[in-house]
Amino acid sequence: VCTYNRPHDVLALLRSLRRDPECQAVIDTVWVIDNGTEHFSDLPGGQEVLDAWGSDLRHVRQKNLGGSGGFARGQFESAYHGNAPFVVLLDDDVVVEPEGIRRAVVLASLASTPIAVGGQMLNRAKPTQLHASAEWVKTKNLRYGPAPGGREDVDLNSRREEYVLDAAYNAWWCCLVPTDAIRDVGLGMPFFIKYDDVEYGYRLAKGGYRTVTMPGVAVWHEPFALKDDTTDWTLYFHVRNRLIF
């Protein structure tokens, strides 16, 4: 879990994972990579969560290296200081259905070859809307879009999603990656923010690791339309990192 000054969201996330015994059974260690100055452990109830997780929770504080630096640190700790076969990269502001985490681990464990399992994005503002199922990048203009078979803005009250889909990458709001793959292809790029997950998905593919998404493996996240991040200061990182990619 990479975080920057969202302590309440992190506390809620840790509690939700702890409440589900079947999800908890597949978790070896939770790494919270904290780039900020406001920490979940300082909130009321924070110490109780630390006590409940015990040594299975590692709260790593570092200077603000952006989401890219936080996720790269999480990859490094999981691959080189942990024993788990997979790491699930999670945003701090997602609402997680713990069963989805367990399903991702089960699918990856049963796969005949190592795969990355992406969590689809549900719209946090409209909980029954599937915002993004499987994605790729149109390399002529470097714009995100649905992968073949992928869908956007689907009303799950009227349509049922039933198929595992191939994706070029999956954003790190929720993405399971084999730790063997991390040791093979390396850590995420030091982009600070933006496009690190895209670049990594394509690097995984180049290394022979497929990325798939699966119905029932998903998180609720703020949709792209509510983030005005192509006209503010983050536009620089969008442009620079696309050029590097």
Q: Using alpha carbons, select from 169, 125, 173, 123 the residue that is nearest to residue 146.
A: 169
The active-site residue, picked from 9, 180, 197, 229, is: 197
Instruction: Determine the longest span between alpha carbons in the chain, in angstroms.
Output: 51
Task: Judge contact between 179 and 85, C-beta under 8 A.
Answer: yes
Q: Is 28 a catalytic residue?
A: no
Separation between Cα atoms, residue 35 and residue 1, nearest integer Å: 11
Separation between Cα atoms, residue 173 and residue 170, nearest integer Å: 8
| Phi, psi for 2 (deg, rounded to 5) | -95, 130
Separation between Cα atoms, residue 89 and residue 46, nearest integer Å: 22
Query: How far is Cα of residue 42 from the mean position of the Cα atoms in its chain?
Result: 24
End-to-end CA distance of the chain: 24
Q: Using alpha carbons, select from 26, 172, 13 the residue that is nearest to residue 108.
A: 26
Please list the active-site residues.
197
